[in-house]
Amino acid sequence: MYDCIVVGGGLIGMMTARQLTLEGQSVLVLDQGQLGAESSWAGGGILSPLYPWRYPQAVSELAAYSHQHYPALAQALEAESGIDPQWTQSGLLILDVEEKQQAHAWAKQFGWKLDDIEQASELLALEPNLGKQADQALWMPEVAQVRNPRLVKSLKASLQHHQVEFAEQEAVSGIDIEQGRVVGVNTQHRKISAAKVVITAGAWSASLLQQAGIRVNVEPVRGQMLVFKAVPELVKHTILHQGHYLIPRRDGRVLMGSTLEYVGFNKAITEAAREELIACAQALVPALAQYEVEKHWSGLRPGSPTGVPFIGSSPATEGLYFNCGHFRNGVILGLASVDLLVDLMLGRIPAIDPAAYAVGESPLPGVMKKT
């Protein structure tokens, strides 16, 4: 009998298991595939929403909290695992901005540094290899990034370091509920008992929760990305233009992302997306034409209607918790959402007000009440 079973070992599930273990709980993580091999591996790792002022306040609050705590998490993970997630403050340069006033008001409210760049020369001083896309920009120097494959590897190794039990290739087929409370889960092979169950199954969360009468509006949204094997300093900062972005890694590789496709649980990559991403990358930084595309991949984001994740407990089933639907921002929002959920699970007063993320009595945007 475990204190808690975590269903889904993406970055949200692994961070949850790590936190609960540090609090003295016995935890088992179950994943239908390999830990950290889905969206959490596929993402770009920008530690800010894109055009963050366009999101609801509930997203900005999680982002601000995570922004503050990420450097310490990255350090702790490296110490525990020997793997550096490469937290790097490479800044975010936003080239197409029509809502300057809104952006500045948002930055002031949530404590982010945001500067106007009003001359092409200033822009080129920051990013010398930029093609001509803009004469003006917004610059957020504090925005950092992590390298997703390294983040998930370090999380998995940290779980091993803390002797957290996990099982891979073991899908949870059902949540075991008796007399209004959770007693464990069922997998293809066995029945496992636990006092609490947390659903962190990313894009797959809705069908699991539906079995317990909870309907969260989470659906897979495919994102394709590719990486150029470039050289350090060719691209210096994360650059955003018309929804597409370049992310420079420490070793000189440059990621280009991403598509936003509602095609169900289909992870295929397409030639059309490859061409679109290469064209966008070369328009932003023409010198990228000289470098080979090393890899092209896709991942299934856990899409939610407004980008606000669902975090909390079942109103009807004692011991059942969820943390899902982080959509395009699970890497940045994940840390805060996990701290919030763990506080709720342990009966502590959370640092962030949980009301906006709950599947509750009052109709919230994107949340369908139990039917």
Beta bridge partners of 136: none
What angle in degrees, to the nearest 10, is found between the helix axes of 57-81 and 100-110? 60
Q: How far apart are CA 214 and CA 67, in angstroms?
A: 31
Helices (H), 163-270: 205-210
| Nearest residue (CB) to ligand FAD, 39 versus 88 | 39
**Of the candidates 365, 370, 371, 265, the residue with the CA atom closest to the CA atom of residue 310:** 365
Please report whether residue 340 would count as binding ligand FAD according to CB under 6 A.
no
Q: What is the distance between the terminal CA atoms of the chain, rounded to a whole angstrom?
A: 31
Shortest approach of ligand FAD to residue 120 CB, angstroms? Answer: 27
- Tokens found for residue 163: 């002797």
Please report whether residue 8 would count as binding ligand FAD according to CB under 6 A.
yes
Q: Quick one: how far is CA 268 from the chain centroid?
A: 21
**Of the candidates 42, 106, 7, the residue with the CA atom closest to the CA atom of residue 330:** 42
Please report whether residue 225 would count as binding ligand FAD according to CB under 6 A.
yes
Please report whether residue 319 would count as binding ligand FAD according to CB under 6 A.
no
* Identified binder of ligand FAD from the candidate list 19, 21, 25, 31, rule CB under 6 A: 31
Please report whether residue 336 would count as binding ligand FAD according to CB under 6 A.
no
| Nearest residue (CB) to ligand FAD, 116 versus 251 | 251
Please report whether residue 219 would count as binding ligand FAD according to CB under 6 A.
no
What character string, x for contact with ligand FAD (CB under 6 A) and - otherwise, covers 271-310?
A: ----------------------------x-xx--------
Shortest approach of ligand FAD to residue 37 CB, angstroms? Answer: 6
Q: Which 8-state DSSP code applies to residue 311?
A: E
* Identified binder of ligand FAD from the candidate list 4, 5, 6, 7, rule CB under 6 A: 7
Shortest approach of ligand FAD to residue 113 CB, angstroms? Answer: 19
| Nearest residue (CB) to ligand FAD, 60 versus 258 | 258
Among the residue ranges 8-16, 99-107, 108-116, 135-143, the one whose residues contact ligand FAD (CB under 6 A) = 8-16
Please report whether residue 330 would count as binding ligand FAD according to CB under 6 A.
yes
Helix (H), strand (E) at residue 69: helix 57-81
The two most distant CA atoms of the chain are separated, in Å, by 68
- Tokens found for residue 57: 């306040």
What character string, x for contact with ligand FAD (CB under 6 A) and - otherwise, covers 162-201?
A: ---------xx---------------------------xx
Please report whether residue 12 would count as binding ligand FAD according to CB under 6 A.
yes
Measured torsion, CA atoms of residues 257, 139, 305, 15, in degrees rounded to the nearest 10: 80
Number of residues in contact with ligand FAD under rule CB under 6 A: 43
- Tokens found for residue 367: 């949340």
Contact by Cβ (8 Å): 199, 311: no
Binding residues for ligand FAD, rule: CB under 6 A, are: 7-13, 30-33, 37-40, 42-46, 171-172, 200-204, 208, 223, 225, 257-258, 299, 301-302, 324, 326-332
